Amino acid sequence: MTDWLDLADSYAASLDASRYLAQIEGAGLGYASQMHATVANSAGQAYLDSLVEKQEYALTRRRSSRMPCMTILASTGRVSATSTQRANPALRRGRTSTEESDLRPHICTLVLCAALGMAALAGCTSEQPGQAIPGGTPPTSRPPTTSVSPSTTSSGESADLPSDGAPKVESPIETTKFQQDPCLVLTDTQTTKLGVASPGTARATGVGNACRWRNDDGGSIEISWGEKIPRGLSAAYKANNAGKYVYFNALPSIEGLPAVALDVVDRRDKGSCGVEVGVTDRLTFQVGLSQSRSKIGTAEPCRVAAEVAAEAVQTMKAGG
């Protein structure tokens, strides 16, 4: 990281990923497993709150000084106190180099990795596609279980979905091409209209592929797939019923598809919102929006995120 904007965006990317992580459940039904999940969720919330604070700090520093944010010493992983103090007057007011080092991006953290491990999903966020890392081998004393696949309808949809109050996807769309290359979801014309630069940056997350577009004013759009949580919007509704989202609002259908606005941290006053859209009863994509600093307060962020989702659906229906 060489710029405060890069640092702020890395925190925003972690926050975007957290919306899907809230839908991951504990690996088992045992007391110990549920207790582990509870502890991880509690620690995770504290971590998310710290990400918001650090993102705002980095953006503030970017506005007040266009200087490099820090120098990371590769040998120790610590911040060079001398260079950082020159760039950051806050250090001269008492912030230590150790505290400043906490501003380094933590896209893959112990807490979030643990949550992913409990669900036996893929590893943490990576800029390159990765392979799933098992969350651990079950104890040998645990009796073997028999895997039972959910029944499906003639259309290939699970018969037990939707559930937990989620609406049915009446007109599913084909998205395989865009799951494999999520940066195709928005065309150059659309990104220009939305005020972000093309091409986007593709990355693999713990639950599917994603693409991120940004600009030089702190604005970003991320579109991510939740294919490793194969219960579609039902998983989001279940997570909300369990109190995992601080807001969860059903939206008018987006290009004929059901959608909700949701987040684990309420940052709408800071221009951020998440929208999840069901493309089938088993699959969704999410839009993570952070408005440009100059646009905050000019439009409700969830409405803008829904508009981004509509652009994405139009592209997918047209085939790219």
Q: Within a domain: residue 37?
A: yes
Looking at residue 10, its pLDDT comes to 75
Looking at residue 72, its pLDDT comes to 35
Whether the pLDDT of residue 304 is over 50: the answer is yes
Domain count, the chain: 1
Most confidently predicted of 9-13, 30-34, 229-233:
229-233
> Among 22-26, 271-275, 290-294, whose mean pLDDT is lowest?
22-26
Q: Minimal CA–CA distance to 132: which of 146, 120, 115, 149?
A: 120
Whether the pLDDT of residue 129 is over 50: the answer is no
Amino acid at 257: L
Amino acid at 59: L
Q: Within a domain: residue 228?
A: yes
Whether the pLDDT of residue 243 is over 80: the answer is yes
Enclosing domain of residue 229: 4-56+108-125+160-318
Quickly state the pLDDT bin for 26 (edges 50, 70, 90). low
Whether the pLDDT of residue 74 is over 80: the answer is no
Calpha distance 292→32 (Å, rounded): 44
Preceding omega of 139 cis (within 30 degrees of 0): no
Looking at residue 226, its pLDDT comes to 97
Give the chain's mean pLDDT: 73
* Of residues 98 and 192, more confidently modeled: 192
Predicted TM-score (pTM) of this structure? 0.67
Whether the pLDDT of residue 209 is over 70: the answer is yes
Calpha distance 166→184 (Å, rounded): 28
Q: Within a domain: residue 20?
A: yes
Q: What percent of the chain has pLDDT over 90?
A: 49
Per-residue pLDDT, averaged over 59-63, amounts to 68
Q: Within a domain: residue 24?
A: yes
Retrieve residue 99's tokens: 């505290």
Q: Within a domain: residue 148?
A: no
Strand-strand pairing, 201-204 and 209-214: antiparallel
Per-residue pLDDT, averaged over 175-201, amounts to 97
Quickly state the pLDDT bin for 21 (edges 50, 70, 90). confident
Q: Within a domain: residue 146?
A: no
Q: What sign results for the dihedral spanned by CA atoms 92, 93, 95, 100?
A: negative
Q: Within a domain: residue 184?
A: yes
- Which DSSP helix (H) or strand (E) runs through 248? strand 247-254
Q: Within a domain: residue 68?
A: no
